[in-house]
Amino acid sequence: MYKGKMVFAQIMEFASKDAFKRSVEKYNGNYKLKDFSCWKQFLCLAFGQLTHRESMSDTVLCLSLNADKLYHLGVGRIVHKSTISRANEVRNWRIFQDFGTKLIEQANQMYAKDNQLYVKLKGKIFALDSTTVDLCLEVFWWANFRSTKGAVKIHTLLDLKTSMPDFIYITNADVHDVNVLDQITILKGSYYIMVKAYIDYQRLYKIKTEGAFFVVRAKTNLKFKRISSQSVDKSKELICDQDVELAVFYSQQDYPEKLRRIKYYVAEQNRTFVFLTNNFKLKTETVARLYKHRWYVELFFKWIKQHLKIKTFWGQNENAVRTQIWVAISV
């Protein structure tokens, strides 16, 4: 509905200024500022995201060409490139992280009753994975990854029922994926679907003791002892369903109880997958289908890289990069 406001201003109405103000106050973001507040910084960066600007200069030029509309956009007066760049470099990126996290919570509440999966389970179903955003090491010297390459990782816990992120964590690319399990609050009765990179039996056992379930793809060098086997319907490309215990001493110390091992063959890809789970009640084909739905997180990563400006960055230090990513996620 037309309200006599700019489209950008109408979109920004969905962003709670009160929630943003609380984030700013938490980190004292507006300390000794006269005009260009954190909120105006957010508006400028959000404008660049929504209008698909390629650089900070491009964003400032576009704002300058619409100087007579800046008041109605909420920005006020013309902002210089150096002002925004300086703000991105020195103002705490956690302001935008907290605000983005709050928006994620609100979005999840809106879609809480949706279920886009064919699997019908009571608890929440999450897929945990990460995507790498490449950076030039000579420019982004702090983003350690390889000797000739820099990058950051966006770790995401995606709610597969709603296709909405529940948790996002940004690190340098040299941080191993499995460490992110320490940052996640495990919800009782939920399911966590993961790839091989997240196999750490001590952390998996923590998920089990918290009353949640995991489905993780097993590594090829898995050493185990078979306790028992259940019959499977091989017409559904299932090979075996076994109760096993870990055979390696230290692995057994980290996960002292039995696991369920399921082997599944995908004819379309001519590939065999082996899964480990701590749920012994689900149907065998349901476990395989759960892992298949993990692909939604890959689609999510593809979407954000296609639609958000996180391939080229408008600042060089770590604070500026993290600020831009979190503003993009908020938008």
The structural domains of the chain, with segments of one domain joined by +, span 7-100+316-330
Say what the pLDDT of residue 328 is: 92
- Calculate the CA dihedral of residues 126, 128, 129, 130 and round it to 10 degrees: 100
Say what the pLDDT of residue 262 is: 94
Give the C-alpha separation, 56 to 310, whole Å: 13
Phi, psi of 16 (to 5 degrees): -70, 115
Output the CA–CA distances (angstroms, integers) from residue 65 to 52, 55, 84, 314, in the order listed.
16, 16, 17, 19
Output the CA–CA distances (angstroms, integers) from residue 171 to 90, 154, 176, 242, 328, in the order listed.
18, 7, 9, 37, 16
How would you write the pLDDT of the chain (331 residues) with one tens digit per residue? 555 688 888 888 888 899 999 999 999 998 888 889 999 999 999 999 998 888 889 999 998 988 888 888 888 888 899 999 999 999 999 999 999 999 998 888 888 777 767 777 888 999 999 999 887 766 677 777 777 778 889 999 999 988 889 999 999 888 999 999 999 999 999 999 999 999 999 999 999 999 999 999 999 999 999 999 998 888 888 899 999 999 999 999 999 999 999 999 888 888 999 999 999 999 998 898 899 889 999 999 999 888 888 878 888 889 999 999 999 999 9
Say what the pLDDT of residue 1 is: 52
Give the C-alpha separation, 152 to 160, whole Å: 24
As given in the structure block, the two tokens for residue 55 are: 């650089």
Say what the pLDDT of residue 2 is: 54
Say what the pLDDT of residue 25 is: 93
Strands 125-135 and 224-230 come out as: unpaired
Output the CA–CA distances (angstroms, integers) from residue 74 to 1, 15, 22, 23, in the order listed.
20, 13, 19, 19
Say what the pLDDT of residue 73 is: 84
Q: Helices marked H in 51-188 — which ranges?
A: 56-65, 70-73, 81-90, 94-110
Give the C-alpha separation, 218 to 146, whole Å: 27
Q: Provide the residue count of the chain.
A: 331
What residues contact residue 299 under an 8 Å CB cut-off, 6+ apart?
A: none
Displacement of CA 242 from its chain's centroid (Å): 32
64 C-beta neighbours (distance < 10 Å), count = 13
Q: Helices marked H in the chain — which ranges?
A: 7-12, 17-26, 38-50, 56-65, 70-73, 81-90, 94-110, 201-209, 249-254, 284-292, 295-307, 318-330
The answer to whether residues 100 and 331 touch, using CB atoms and an 8 Å cutoff, is no
